[in-house]
Amino acid sequence: RELIVGIVRGHEFEQRLCEAAFPGIRERGWHHATLTAFASPIVAGRMLHLPAEKIQHAIGISASRHCTLGAVTAGKLTMMKNTVDPMATQSGVLAALLAEKGYPGPEHVIDGKEGLVHCYGPEWKLAVLTDGLGTSFRISQCGMKAFPTEALTHAPISAVIAIVKEQDLQPESIAEVHIRSLHRAADILADPSKYDPWSKETADHSLPYCIAAAIVDRNVTPAAFTDEKIRDPRLRAQLPKVKVVADEEIEKLFPALQRVIVKITTADGQAFEKQLDFPKGDPRNPLTDAEVEAKFDALAADVITAETGRKIKDAVWHLETLGSISELMTL
């Protein structure tokens, strides 16, 4: 039950911090792990049952020493892409342990001189951090990825899969896939390095590659990011067909909508277009429990047996009945 409280608090403050940074922390060149360094000591502090003033110090300790540049997801990606958020969480745990021993940290690391608002401008909506706190919970508004790829690839993947299946299009029959999306999608997910990915980390943040996989396999699963698949000539032949452009009208709708407009043109001149305003997995179109389990199975298949996977799923669905977190971690 304590773990559940921690999970809820983690989502609550991470999401509120992301919303407070208008229009978004990533749009300013920083990775969201920067904000995890503010949220994680709140969770760790609660786990240690620290008083409020010590949690305040823990936030100051962690946040003042741990900022994450957006460079980890720009251009060619490395294993750091998957590690910066765990490192920011580690920072919060260390900070809470220090605060527990009486180690002080900056008290106004959010709103004080040279704090978060001062250094990470231009606009912060700080009221978002506390409005309605405890009366509604952000975890119920949280999306869950349907595909193991960067979040802004999901709507275009969904649109492409829908068109390809509805029209029964074969990869060789497609001449062009034209995608109108956000500036960020065009700039970061479709820069030149993303048209020639040779690692999983770059491929799963490459919109052209994800679309190519969707065309060839009519789905995007972990199997799309093996070394063998990344080198598949049939898949790589689709990469140059993908054109991504930033759309000013779509930009104005973000973050309320993650609109994408996809147009597929075939070699014989036919054109098929689809607009999506949010992807599968969005709170307005959530994954079912069965779909969540299927995603878990796909991700875990190479690591654990099916029987162990079944035990883990059962433990997670009944987490509040476990006497100790050790029961889950042993699995």
* Average pLDDT of the residues of the chain: 94
Q: Can you tell me the distance from the alpha carbon of 104 to that of 115, in angstroms, rounded to the nearest whole number?
A: 16
pLDDT at 298: 85
Q: What is the pLDDT of residues 61-105, one digit of tens each?
A: 999 999 999 998 877 778 898 899 999 999 999 999 999 999 999
Q: Are 194 and 207 spatial neighbours (Cβ–Cβ below 8 Å)? A: yes
What's at 228, amino acid-wise? E
User: What is the distance between the alpha carbons of residues 80 and 93, in angstroms, rounded to a whole number?
Assistant: 19
Distance CA 294, CA 300 (A): 10
> Distance between CA atoms of 5 and 166, rounded to whole angstroms?
43
Rg over CA atoms, the chain: 21
pLDDT in tens, 104-130: 999 999 999 999 999 988 889 999 999
Res 22: pLDDT? 84
User: Residue 311 has what pLDDT?
Assistant: 96
- Give me the helix-helix angle, 154-167 and 207-217, nearest 10°: 30
pLDDT of res. 285: 87
Q: Return the pLDDT at 65.
A: 94
Q: What is the pLDDT of residue 258?
A: 87
Please give the average per-residue pLDDT across 306-311, as a whole number.
96
Q: What angle do CA 290, 291, 293 make, to 5 degrees?
A: 65
Place of tokens 């970061």: 188
pLDDT of residue 319: 95
**pLDDT at residue number 184:** 85
Give the CB-side neighbour count of residue 218, counting CA atoms within 13 A.
10
Kindly list the strands in the beta sheet with 260-266, ordered across the sheet, starting from the edge strand earlier in the chain: 242-246, 174-181, 260-266, 271-276
Residues 6+ away with beta carbon under 8 Å from 52? none
Query: What is the pLDDT, as a whole number, of residue 299?
Result: 87
The Cα-based distances of 124 to 41, 95, 132, 172, 180 in angstroms read 21, 25, 17, 48, 28
**Residue 132: predicted pLDDT:** 95
DSSP E strands: which ranges in the chain? 21-22, 123-124, 174-181, 242-246, 260-266, 271-276
Among candidate residues 19, 122, 36, the one with its CA nearest the CA of residue 83: 36
User: Would you mind telling me the total number of residues written for the chain in this entry?
Assistant: 331
Question: 3-class SS at 126?
Answer: helix
Q: Kindly give the pairing relationship between strand 174-181 and strand 242-246.
A: parallel
What's residue 255's pLDDT?
79
**For the chain, what percent of residues have pLDDT higher than 70?**
100
Which amino acid is it at 181? S
Return the pLDDT at 74.
79
Is it the case that residue 263 has pLDDT exceeding 90?
yes
- Give 264's DSSP letter: E
Question: In this predicted model, what pLDDT tens digit does every residue of 162-178 receive, in sequence order?
Answer: 999 999 999 999 999 99
Q: Is 50 helix (H, G, I), strand (E, B) or coil?
A: coil
Residue whose structure tokens are 């009221």? 127
pLDDT score at 61: 98
Q: How far apart, in whole angstroms, are the C-alpha atoms of residue 46 and residue 56?
A: 11
Q: What is the pLDDT of residue 78?
A: 85
Residue 216 structure tokens? 């060839």
pLDDT at 275: 96
pTM of the complete model: 0.78
Count how many Cα atoms sit within 13 Å of the Cα of residue 275 in the half-sphere of its side chain: 4
Structure confidence by residue, pLDDT tens digits, 209-261:
999 999 999 999 889 999 999 999 999 999 999 999 999 999 999 878 889 99
pLDDT of residue 23: 81
pLDDT score, position 82: 87
The DSSP bridge pattern shows strands 271-276 and 260-266 to be antiparallel
Cα 329–chain centre separation: 24
Amino acid 172: pLDDT: 96
- 275 has which bridge partners? 261
Nearest to 136 by CA among 233, 19, 248: 19
Q: What is the residue type of 321?
A: T
